[in-house]
Structure 1
């Protein structure tokens, strides 16, 4: 019979010792774990392999096994598998991203420093310059970096985990949506694309520490994108 993973992690954490200079917990030997958990060696190895696959466990040859919190690849895998199995769809991912980013931007308006505002404004400037030069890939990366930096400003590991997971599963769609928006908004000399300049309103609200204004600006950002790509 298998062991409940949450119970196993809790039991392992209670027996593990902190590894100096890291956030990892070093586990006792396999023999000690079999005795303390009162399970078979085969069951233990099976469950440890599962934890390793999920990113909660790392093994180092000659040094032992370590328990730790997985990086964003954990939730990226979950979203990928859920999408492939048809349990979650694009509309749900998009809706979750919009709700997350609207709330995140409101928080950023309270927490951003002057340096953060400079970084955000610089990234919008980079979008505008890249689009004007016809470098759509560079504009896309500046756009992604802009939203990633908002997440960095908030500095909440839960937001970061969700943001990284949603950005991963939606990346191909974001690339396609920008391509469609670029095709539908050809640049004339001296003009800038609204899909880029709409970000300035977000920066202004964050700089003014206007939480409600930041929410409205981010909501408007998504509305602009939807209008250009033909999505409801």
Structure 2
């Protein structure tokens, strides 16, 4: 079984929680959405295209997309980009996500993620495994805490999709929404040190290998190790 290493930083948020450039991007994209420039359910242009059209860095754009997602204006799908949300799908999800505390979230992840790993080993297609490999490549390529955290979430969402269980996927999407609440996302970025990123790259690579080898025991153990490590970090934070 894998023996993995142990694993703070963005600046303190302003009073509004947003920098002026991020706020400008949020306002610009919100206006485009309100004007119907991007129809409901449609896919937004790529991050590269949006960043170029708004003349901002991609990291700034991603922060703005995080805010739009928290406000229920867009949804983001692992490996598939950002989509204009159907508001009725968010009426219940947003308040539940906002009201979820760190302990609630960790308990739910402890219940769901090992079972997601087990089912993904049994049911995930080769195309799904290839998508996970691409996300892992992104994790290896970035040293930006916000982007790295997003890659982790994308990996877990894609893993959930590999269960081929629509209800489980929908439930886990709510877990991800709770994880992406602004205060919690900021905390995760603080905890995403170079040491933690190295640890997560290693454990995600091992998890991918377990999926390729269809090794249920190894996959579930690796997920449990990640959860234990995250619990340790959360206890340090508190």
TM above 0.5, yes or no, is yes
What residue number does 2:185 align with? 175
Say whether the 8 Å CA contact 2:117–2:219 is kept in structure 1: yes
What residue number does 2:166 align with? 157
Supply the distance in 1 between the matched residues of 2:164 and 2:92 (Cα, whole angstroms). 18
1:120 corresponds to 2:132: yes
The TM-score normalised by the length of structure 1 is 0.56
Gaps of 5+ in 2: 1-86
Q: Secondary structure at the match of 1:205?
A: helix
Give matches, 1:53-72, under 5 Å.
72=89
User: Deviation string for 1:15-60 (max 9, x for gaps)?
Assistant: xxxxxxxxxxxxxxxxxxxxxxxxxxxxxxxxxxxxxxxxxxxxxx
RMSD across aligned positions (CA)? 2.8
Say whether the 8 Å CA contact 1:202–1:217 is kept in structure 2: yes
What residue number does 2:110 align with? 98
Say whether the 8 Å CA contact 1:105–1:150 is kept in structure 2: yes
Cα 1:182/1:212, change in 2 over 3 Å: same
Say whether the 8 Å CA contact 1:199–1:221 is kept in structure 2: no
Supply the distance in 2 between the matched residues of 1:165 and 1:155 (Cα, whole angstroms). 17
What residue number does 2:93 align with? 76
Q: Secondary structure at the match of 1:185?
A: helix
The TM-score normalised by the length of structure 2 is 0.55
Say whether the 8 Å CA contact 2:124–2:164 is kept in structure 1: no
Supply the distance in 2 between the matched residues of 1:100 and 1:144 (Cα, whole angstroms). 14
User: Deviation string for 1:135-184 (max 9, x for gaps)?
Assistant: 22222222111111011111212112211111112213652343233347
In our comparison, the structure showing a higher alpha carbon Rg is: 1
- Aligned pairs, how many? 151
Gaps of 5+ in 1: 1-69, 187-191
Say whether the 8 Å CA contact 1:123–1:146 is kept in structure 2: yes
Say whether the 8 Å CA contact 1:73–1:165 is kept in structure 2: no
Say whether the 8 Å CA contact 2:120–2:159 is kept in structure 1: yes
Supply the distance in 1 between the matched residues of 2:97 and 2:233 (Cα, whole angstroms). 27
What residue number does 1:107 align with? 119
Supply the distance in 1 between the matched residues of 2:117 and 2:192 (Cα, whole angstroms). 25
1:141 corresponds to 2:150: yes
What residue number does 1:59 align with? none
Say whether the 8 Å CA contact 1:75–1:162 is kept in structure 2: no
